[in-house]
Amino acid sequence: MAQKQGQLRLVASGDGRDDSIKIHQDVDLYAAVLKEGDRLNYGVKSNRSLWLQVVKGSITINGKTVNSGDGVAITQEAKVALISTSNETEILLFDLA
């Protein structure tokens, strides 16, 4: 859990880099546990899209609030700004082809 605290931690990928689990898909899966006010920025490569799943808590994504259990598809964005709006927010971020 400490590796996910306040940062995006790669947990699964197509190539198994950074000690992530190797999966046979063109996806990078990140997990993060955030405290209220924690901020993360994520640059989206061209021809990629994101899926953000809020496991617990709430977060703003480019200024829009998303709550526990919600998922958001993010397309045609060059970067994403994430700000935790509750204590103990947990998210999964899927970077997809």
In the prediction, which pLDDT does 44 show? Answer: 95
Model pTM score:
0.92
Number of residues written out for the chain? 97
What residues have CB less than 8 Å from 46, skipping those under 6 apart?
none
In the chain, where the domains are located: 2-96
- Give the C-alpha separation, 26 to 40, whole Å: 23
- Give the C-alpha separation, 81 to 76, whole Å: 14
In the prediction, which pLDDT does 5 show? Answer: 87
- Options 3.40.50.2000, 2.60.40.1150, 3.40.718.10, 2.60.120.10; CATH of 2-96: 2.60.120.10
Average pLDDT per consecutive 10 residues, the chain (97 residues; last block may be shorter): 83 96 97 97 95 98 96 95 96 97
